[in-house]
Structure 1
Amino acid sequence: MKTSAFVYPWDVIGDPDAARRIADLGVQQVTLASAYHSTRALTPRHPRHRVVTARHAAILYPPSPHRWSGRALRPYAQDWVPCADPYAEAADALRAAGLSVHSWVVLAHNSRLGEEHPRTSVTNAYGDHYPWAPCIAQPEVRDYAITLAAEAAVRPGADGTELESCGWYGFAHLHAHDKVGGVPLGPAAQYLMSLCFCSACAGGYAGLGLRADDLRDAVRTALAPVWAGERVDEEKLLGAEFAARTLAWRAEAARTFQHDVIRAVRDEAPPGFQVLLHADPAPHHTGANPGVDPHHVLAHADGVVLPGGVGVDAFAPHTRPGTVLAANFPIVAGMGGSPRTLAADAARVAALGATELRLYHVGLASDADLAAVRGAIA
């Protein structure tokens, strides 16, 4: 199975051994961040630093001035990697080590955007804004994300791209210093807390005969017992009619968004450029791997990247020759990954129809984790 490792530019820049070390794992490809959210990342082998703090979502290359001129929503520049084009510098080193380079683009996840432009954020039934979650139903947000995807995906020399959070983001985020675990929220409550009530979504609900005020009241009523510790599914919480209409609006918004993003990337890209989406087959799921319609997304994208291979069997019936079903496995033991079971995990998902592997994340992994990965690939 072809295997790709996730990499940040700062894992490579300033470390002359990094590219060769990654290639020596036995991977054929790297998925290199070109537009990424805020993070604090350990760099355990870098000769110059041990921690990189990316203070906000940013692009890791120089933006095109003509593309963003006059726009209120535009990508933010980074200043924590000391070079003008971190993506290009890292990509050059990785290609020189014999690796194919694909860009890694995060779309609907940007805390700074929501802080500076609150109107762009998902707004829950209680009126709370989620600044980390741009609402993909808003025309201005969609235009921004589609433009960003085309620019950040098609970097010089890239053979393809992987689009993360290409769909709905919501409540679950692991935001800085999260203090939201006091009341456990199951999948249904997470979904209800992720429903958006901005003006664009209110209009979308109205188009399906659903008043936003009625839905808001229903969500609050449904969540009342959750705050007391109960857990039930969203249809029981919200009622079948409200659940169906709400999901119909969100699914349509996600489908059109994904279609437009993929088309924009293809319009910019050379022939043979591969476009994959990080995805989940459960339509109500939100986050880095948002819910998609397998039939629809594989009619437009070249494939999907699935966390742990979850849902490979749901996508397999919709594949065509060359479709990529990549299973993404965490390999950092200290972050809950299982590098020592990678060979068995790969065999399991291959039997279900997976065609490739993704390893998250070689820059964060310990030497022991990498040794286990090297053995598994061998």
Structure 2
Amino acid sequence: MNAAIWAHPWDIIDEGSEAVAERLLDIGITEVNLATTMHSVQTLNPHNPERKTFFADASAYFQPDESRYGELVPDVNETMGDADWLAEIANGLETTPVSLNSWTVPFHSSKQGRRHPQTTLENPFGDSLVWGLCPSNPDVREYGTALVAELADRGDVDGIEMELADFQYGTGYGWHHQEFFTRLGGLGEFLFGLCFCEHCQANAREAGIDVETARESARNGLEMRFEGGISHRTDVAGWLAEHPSLARYVGTRKAVVTDLFDEFAEQMGALPFGYYLKMGGLGDDRMGVEHSWKHGLDLDALSEPLDYVTVLAYHSDPTVVRDDVRTARSLIDVPVNVGLLAGHPIVDSRASLVAQAEAAAEAGAEKLSFYGYGVVPERNIEWIRAAIDAAARI
């Protein structure tokens, strides 16, 4: 079974591309998914020889050709400065058997959102959600397609894998020190992040939808949840069925994302196009791949522009990993890979990671991708070796 690993550029730069490649090949990994544009992050880097933590605003790890872009231009990482880490890493891996994929996160950018609030998602109360750019916005669409085209034209990577190039979800997967002392639950999260920017509203009106009624339903639902008028366990699909204008409003988002992905695929040319299926929630609020529509994803329609998907199955229970892979295979007609988090808080032993890899292989995953090279301890690297070996025997 093929295996890949996600990596941040600073870890490869600090250890050296050839040394990292040698280490990865030794444990059975032949692909690196390298962060080329990413959200804001602080990482703990247990085996990095130069630094044990790294802070980064949402930024790009290459030098963009600014003439290719419009209103939005990639923000170069401040620590990288005038260097081009993508080019350096690609050059270092060129003489090795390790291939390089671009891990591209285009629209989850608080830095872009703060600088260009008119391009962000706008919740039902009119608040700008600065962590997320809205894919209905023409400037955002232009930015995403220009970014993909530049990455393809540079010739540094063997494929492009994208994450959160959609309507994202809820409260944005964490925003610094959040102070949320109301349990939103699945419905509250969904409604909180539902975009009502001018472009989303225009799309809905063009489809004949009563936008004001839809928005009022979303606001009322949130206010009822704030005050405990509806349960945090309320089923989202069931609640939407009782609010048909809002349900139709939500449905218009699928065409927006599908059309955008068609544009991405055209810009990539012959490069493989992969996408990460990422759903949120914990415990009773956990959501599986079947909830991808909450991101505006129409998995059936996306079988055309995509070459494969990777299910981010970050779950402690191997049976949930298995179910996510099986569900994805039933919903989309492209190869399904699986992403496994090889560290805290998901796995705490070699055996637990092995069990997850085995479950994914039994469910039909075609490739294992592990998160991540620089952020897990040395011992976990060896756990990854064991997981790959175990999956290969399935």
* TM-score normalized by the length of structure 1: 0.89
Contact 2:358 2:387 in 1 (8 A): no
Change in Cα spacing, 1:369 to 1:27, as seen in structure 2 (3 Å) is: same
Letter in 1 for 2:371: Y
| 1:22 CA displacement | 2.7
Change in Cα spacing, 1:300 to 1:338, as seen in structure 2 (3 Å) is: farther
Counterpart residue number, 1:285? 294
Tell me which of 29, 32, 38 is aligned to 1:30. Answer: 32
Counterpart residue number, 1:312? 325
Structure-2 separation of matches of 1:83 and 1:94:
21
**For residues 297-376 of structure 1, what are the structure 2 equivalents within 5 Å?**
297-308=302-313, 311-317=324-330, 323-333=334-344, 335-337=345-347, 340=350, 341-376=352-387
**For residues 1-378 of structure 1, what are the structure 2 equivalents within 5 Å?**
1-16=1-16, 17-54=19-56, 56-68=57-69, 71-81=70-80, 84-153=83-152, 155-173=154-172, 174-180=174-180, 182-229=181-228, 230-231=231-232, 232-238=234-240, 239-266=242-269, 271=270, 273-279=271-277, 280-286=289-295, 292-308=297-313, 311-317=324-330, 323-333=334-344, 335-337=345-347, 340=350, 341-378=352-389
| 1:115 CA displacement | 0.5
Change in Cα spacing, 1:339 to 1:150, as seen in structure 2 (3 Å) is: farther
Letter in 2 for 1:349: A
| 1:206 CA displacement | 1.3
TM-superposition CA deviations, 1:311-338 (whole Å, max 9, x none): 4334435766xx43110010122x4345
Structure-1 separation of matches of 2:44 and 2:145:
31
Q: In structure 2, the residue corresponding to 1:61 is in which secondary structure?
A: coil
| 1:236 CA displacement | 4.5
Q: Which runs of 5+ in 1 are unaligned?
A: none
Letter in 2 for 1:113: Q
Q: In structure 2, the residue corresponding to 1:132 is in which secondary structure?
A: strand
Structure-2 separation of matches of 1:24 and 1:172:
40
Structure-1 separation of matches of 2:256 and 2:290:
16
Quick check: 310-319 or 10-19, which moved more? 310-319
Change in Cα spacing, 1:284 to 1:186, as seen in structure 2 (3 Å) is: farther
Name the count of aligned residue pairs. Answer: 362
Q: In structure 2, the residue corresponding to 1:282 is in which secondary structure?
A: helix
| 1:82 CA displacement | 5.7
Structure-1 separation of matches of 2:332 and 2:41:
34
Letter in 2 for 1:313: R
| 1:42 CA displacement | 1.8
TM-superposition CA deviations, 1:155-186 (whole Å, max 9, x none): 42421111111211233321111222x11222
4+ residue stretches of structure 1 with deviation over 4 A? 317-320
Quick check: 151-160 or 216-225, which moved more? 151-160
| 1:95 CA displacement | 4.2
Structure-2 separation of matches of 1:143 and 1:157:
22
| 1:36 CA displacement | 1.3
Note the aligned Cα RMSD (angstroms).
2.1
Letter in 1 for 2:116: H
Counterpart residue number, 2:286? none
| 1:261 CA displacement | 1.6
Identity of aligned residues (%): 26
Change in Cα spacing, 1:264 to 1:166, as seen in structure 2 (3 Å) is: same
Structure-1 separation of matches of 2:387 and 2:66:
45
* TM-score normalized by the length of structure 2: 0.85
